Amino acid sequence: MSDKDPSKLKTNRPQLALHVPEPPFRPGDTPDFSSLKIPAAGDAARPDVAAAPADTFALTTHLVRVLDDQHRAVGPWDPKLDSDTLRKMLRDMVTVRVFDDRMYRAQRQGKTSFYMKCTGEEAIAVAAATALDREDMHFPSYRQQGLLVARGYPLTDMMCQIYSNKGDKLQGRQLPIMYSDKAHGFFSISGNLGTQFPQAVGWAMASAIKGDSRIAMGWIGDGATAEGDFHSALTFATVYNAPVVLAVVNNQWAISSFSGIAGAERATFAQRAMGYGIAGLRVDGNDALAVYAAVRWAGNRARSNNGPTLIEFYTYRAEGHSTSDDPSGYRPVNEAKAWPLGDPIDRLKAHLIALGEWDEERHVAMAVELDATVRAAQKEAEKLGILPQQGKDNIGSMFEDVYADMPWHIAEQRDAAIAESKAE
């Protein structure tokens, strides 16, 4: 026996082993979520907006829910919204779904290279946009198109960005769906996951330094919480009591990795708040009223200098990660249907019907109208071209907007690129 062979040493000790998380269900399995603890709607206490962070910690393992099984709004988190606001949220959520379906199809028709849907998550961005002030700044990931829709950003402008055509305000420099619009309080989406979280905290700190009253909201997925940026953001947020709302959209998946790979088997994402000493809430993300109430609470808390809040929205990514993904390779095809928190659009619609403020006929009419609206926007956008038609006419612009004064070597590369495109 060689005394240099580590496997042969100290054999009386237990052999070390790692745990590699595996999702509970794989293709071919029957998904069964009956072991998930889903508290009854209305069951969660609602602390005062100025409560100490520790007074929220019980909520990090609970679930704030407002809509009950009879589609009524119940409990202390009921935001008591008027029916016009509820109908506007429903309309925005349906718009997002119709838009997603059209753009998914456009990608399959070869009109663009890439698209990402947010199916099943529509309530989260739409209700958050409704709950905060129009002047507040969002730092989104790629799955919050509902923020732009709820804030009235033109659908045609979104589509022009997706087609990278002549109407694209970002001039083809961003991947399709990576919008940016300061006027609508929508910070540029970054392809590098997680960067928007510290940026949201920094913007909120700057707002406070300037003596402003606007707050920021940062967005991140469950998978991206495993990035260092998530933790840097929380450290800055707690140290400086930054006026920011920080949202983790836990849709159970990060492409083909399930949430356990980001640590969900050990603690909820909302529980991360405890280690940093900030307020934390865990919220039913498929319940538009619960989302609204939680974001309103956290927004008012930030606005009144009572500190940041980490909110986990518990939801399910009902479709593929993007047009490049096929989820049937890693999860059962019917898993979304088995998800116990239902569909956010169906739930808000049923609530409005239960209130006597909506009916099936009006819903069908609205769906037809929104389909026509989205098709008309698409027609307008396609007049300005689709992605594969984009040539190299304006290739020189690719080198602009990086430096205030273009260095000579970049100018040289630009001139060479222009010359080459003309020679082709």
Which lies closer to ligand TPP via its Cβ, residue 164 or residue 252? 252
Q: Which of 132, 150, 193, 370 binds ligand TPP (CB under 6 A)?
A: 193
Binding partner of residue 321 among Mg ion, ligand TPP, none, CB cut-off 5 to 8 Å per kind: ligand TPP
Tell me the CB-side half-sphere exposure of residue 343, using CA atoms within 13 A: 14
Residue placing its CB nearer to ligand TPP in the complex, 21 or 277: 21
Compute the least distance from the CB of residue 312 to ligand TPP, in Å. 12
Report the residue number, 141 or 306, with the smaller CB distance to ligand TPP.
141
- Select 33 or 57, whichever has its Cβ closest to Mg ion: 33
| Cα–Cα distance, 361 to 387 (Å, whole number) | 38
152/135 Cα distance (integer angstroms): 13
- Which residue in 156, 251, 315, 378 binds Mg ion (CB under 5 A)? 251
**Residue with smaller CB distance to ligand TPP, 141 or 156:** 141
Contact flag: residue 221 with ligand TPP (CB under 6 A): yes
**Residues paired with 249 in a beta bridge:** 221, 313
Contact string (CB under 6 A) for ligand TPP, positions 264-303, x = contact: ----------------------------------------
Q: Are 390 and 397 in contact (CB under 8 A)?
A: no
The DSSP result for 166-201, as a single string, is TT-TTTT-S-TT---BGGGTBPPP-SSTTTHHHHHH
> In terms of residues, how long is the chain?
424
Nearer to ligand TPP, 155 or 189 (CB): 189
**Beta pairing class for 216-221 and 253-254:** unpaired
- 291 contacts 213 by C-beta, under 8 angstroms: no
Strand ranges across the sheet with 216-221: 137-139, 216-221, 244-250, 309-314, 279-284
Size of the site for ligand TPP (CB under 6 A): 16
Q: CA 37, CA 10: separation in Å to the nearest integer?
A: 43
Using only the alpha carbons of the chain, give its radius of gyration.
24
Task: List binders of ligand TPP among 312-351 (CB under 6 A).
Answer: 317, 321
CB atoms closer than 10 angstroms to residue 251: 25
Q: How far apart are CA 79 and CA 293, in angstroms?
A: 5
d(CA 169, CA 65): 39
Binding piece for ligand TPP, criterion CB under 6 A, among 82-90, 93-101, 186-194, 352-360: 186-194
Phi and psi angles of residue 138, each rounded to the nearest 5 degrees, phi first = -95, 140
- Give residue number: closest CB to ligand TPP: 221
Rank residues 35 and 192 by Cβ distance to ligand TPP and give the closer one.
192
Stretch that binds ligand TPP, among 24-32, 216-224, 281-289, 403-411 (CB under 6 A): 216-224
Each residue 113-152 as x (binds ligand TPP by CB under 6 A) or -, in order, gives ----------------------------x-x---------
Region of 49-57, 181-189, 249-257, 407-415 interacting with ligand TPP (CB under 6 A): 249-257
**Is-contact 279 243, C-beta < 8 A?**
no
CB atoms within 10 A of CB 30: 9
Residue 254 or 273: the one with the smaller Cβ distance to ligand TPP is 254
x/- site string to Mg ion, residues 208 to 227, per CB under 5 A? Answer: -------------xxx----
Residue 106 binds which one of ligand TPP, Mg ion, none, with CB within 5 to 8 A depending on kind? none
Site for Mg ion in 360-389 (CB under 5 A): none
Residue 389 amino acid letter? Q
Residue 214 beta carbon to ligand TPP: minimum distance, rounded to whole angstroms: 26
Nearer to Mg ion, 215 or 254 (CB): 254
251 binds ligand TPP per the rule CB under 6 A:
yes
For residues 278 and 133, give the distance between their C-alpha atoms in angstroms, rounded to a whole number. 22
- CA pair distance 285, 287, nearest whole angstrom: 5
| Closer to ligand TPP by Cβ: residue 60 or 315 | 315
Residue among 381, 393, 333 nearest 106 (CA): 381
Cα torsion 47, 53, 55, 59: sign: positive
Interface with ligand TPP (CB under 6 A): 141, 143, 191-193, 221-224, 249, 251, 253-255, 317, 321
User: Which residues sit at the interface with Mg ion, rule CB under 5 A?
Assistant: 221-223, 251, 254
